[in-house]
Amino acid sequence: MATTDLRRFRIVGAGPTGALLALGLARQGHSVDLIDALPRQALLDRSRAYAMTHSSRRLLQRLELWSDLSPELTPFTALRLDDRATHQTAWFTLNDLNDANRKAEAIGWILDHRPLMRLLLDHLEQSPRVALRFGVADNAPFASPASVSGEWMIAADGPRSSLRERSGVLYWSHRYQQGCLTAKVRLRGAEPFTAYELFRPEGPMAVLPLGEDRYQVVWSAPISLCRDRAGSNSMELLSALTAILPEELSVTELLDRPGAFPLELSFAPRLDRHRLLLVGESGHRCHPVGGQGLNLCWRDVSDLLDLTQQLRNGVLTSRALPRRYTRRRRLDLLGVLLATDLLIRFFSNRHLLLLPLRRLALVALAQLGWLRRLSLSAMTDGPGTLLRSLPE
């Protein structure tokens, strides 16, 4: 099949989502300008870890990055779900994965930010099709299709996207009363290769393995409490953390400086405007419960790369691409945003009338294999895949 002329993409935002999209577009043969207001070192130095699901694994394998990242990945083969108010527990294991994912021998993986960004930036710097500009703010006015013929603009600059705001794209946002504290710690007593999701009245907490006895804690609570805890001394923080973990777990050391940030539910009903496309948190943001954030952003990347390949092959027109992108992402985005919001409202509260329902939900998860498989499939691949088969 004959291919069309190649396109130029200007991506604003060189975090994990923008950088991965830039690399994918360059490998399709497109020209890419990647711009970020932060210098290169600041892009590398962020202290956090990501929970990666099978949808992200498939994208990294498609871009031939998975094997390079494998030494940095910490797999977990079990997920423990606790409701601390009802004292009910459910376990997810490898047997709860669908057949297409079970061969990977992990429910998910934890990856530190630094090796991921180092690999992406190294590949981008070696690509002749990518022009990198770091430490440069993109303050140009939003350009209409007529003024920039053949160039696509991608907003990948996060929830406060200046490019999205200048374009006038409709964007809805709701601030949660909760914030989030993140910290890396050493734990004693944890089950090997196990991730923990703890539902508590003040908010959920994820405890994610980083290898050996190191763990990433993602602790949701009222934002004022998160900031107070982040500013407290290490002994006070470790004591507060140990007090709310399952009794067999204890924190022995704080490994980095905790960070605290507010949480919100955000959504752009349309991810396109003329030749501007919103990718990642510039177009949506959800609560971190269930570790959906980065994986949802990378499914934006995967779907957009499918469409740009169709554009390259001449089976999709430039005029159709924006609308097709928005339609293709809508079900996945709405499903994840609504599911995470409902989880928070259901489990992060003190309503006594809901406690029997919460207890019933955890008992059902613990006893019904089909329910665990359905839940895990939605978590690892997105709700849009529940009715179709997945690639091996």
- What is the token pair recorded at 310? 């169709």
Tell me the C-alpha to C-alpha distance, in Å, between residue 301 and each of 2, 220, 305: 24, 27, 6
- Tell which residue, 360, 341, 13, has the closest CA to residue 159: 13
Q: How far is CA 12 from CA 20, 63, 326, in A?
A: 12, 21, 19
Mean pLDDT computed over 330-343: 93
In a domain, 384, yes or no: no
CA distances from 185 to 51, 70, 196, 201, 294 (A): 16, 22, 14, 23, 22
Range of the domain at 158: 8-73+112-173+264-351
Q: Residue 387's pLDDT is what? A: 60
Please determine, for residue 145, whether its predicted confidence score (pLDDT) is greater than 50. no
Strand partners, 131: 33
Enter the tokens of residue 260.
């605290």
- The total of other beta-carbon atoms located within 10 Å of residue 66's CB is 17
**Mean pLDDT, rounded, of the chain:** 90
Distance between CA atoms of residues 279 and 252, nearest Å: 39
Mean pLDDT value of segment 161-187: 92
Residue 202 lies in a domain: no
Could you tell me if residue 319 is inside a domain? yes
For residue 390, pLDDT over 70 is answered with no
HSE (CB half, 13 Å, CA atoms) of 103? 7
Domain of 291: which CATH number?
A: 3.50.50.60
pLDDT band at 51 (very low <50, low <70, confident <90, very high): very high
**Residue 135 DSSP class:** S
In this structure, is residue 366 part of a structural domain? no
Q: What's the mean pLDDT in 323-343?
A: 94
Does the residue 66 lie in any domain? yes
Residue 383 lies in a domain: no
Give the closest residue to 229 by CA, choosing from 202, 211, 247: 202
Residue 141 lies in a domain: yes
- Which range, of 1-15, 101-115, 141-155, averages the lowest pLDDT? 141-155
| Residue 55 vs residues 122, 193, 345: alpha-carbon distances, Å | 23, 20, 26
Into how many domains does the chain fold? 1
Residue 105 included in any domain: no
DSSP string, 332-387: HHHHHHHHHHHHHHHHSS--GGGHHHHHHHHHHHHH-HHHHHHHHHHHHH-GGGTT
